[in-house]
Amino acid sequence: DGGITQSPKYLFRKEGQNVTLSCEQNLNHDAMYWYRQDPGQGLRLIYYSQIVNDFQKGDIAEGYSVSREKKESFPLTVTSAQKNPTAFYLCASSAGSSGRGYEQYFGPGTRLTVT
């Protein structure tokens, strides 16, 4: 089955620790995205990548870092510099070309709690 996997579903960390969230897709999509969602809020874009070895900051990139060494993988690191890291994190991918390429497919999300 093609899709996007995120692991783990729930993650707990102590303040001051970096943590890496996994996102893998087997849809052969070129573009991948990371979003953050806070309770009762909309989705906000953290980083996106349109091609391997390239990525751009989204609207709220401060305190986060990413890498895109492989087409199928786009891990997100939440660093200790992120002031309010507790949130729900969603990864998505899209084919990255016109037509249905606009359509994003979402992973199940990781709920991160930092205390």
Partner 1 sequence: KNEVEQSPQNLTAQEGEFITINCSYSVGISALHWLQQHPGGGIVSLFMLSSGKKKHGRLIATINIQEKHSSLHITASHPRDSAVYICAVSPWGSGTYKYIFGTGTRLKVLA
- Binding residues (CB under 8 A) for partner 1: these are 31, 33, 37, 41-43, 45, 48, 50, 56, 58, 88, 90, 92, 94, 96, 98, 100-109, 111
Q: How far is the CB of 92 from partner 1 (least distance, A)?
A: 8
The DSSP string of 57-101 is E-TT-TTEEE--SBTTB--EEE-TT-S---EEEEEEEE--SSGGG
> Nearest approach, Cβ of 104 to partner 1 (angstroms)?
6
Residue 1 or 15: the one with the smaller Cβ distance to partner 1 is 1
Residue 90 near residue 34 (C-beta atoms within 8 A): yes
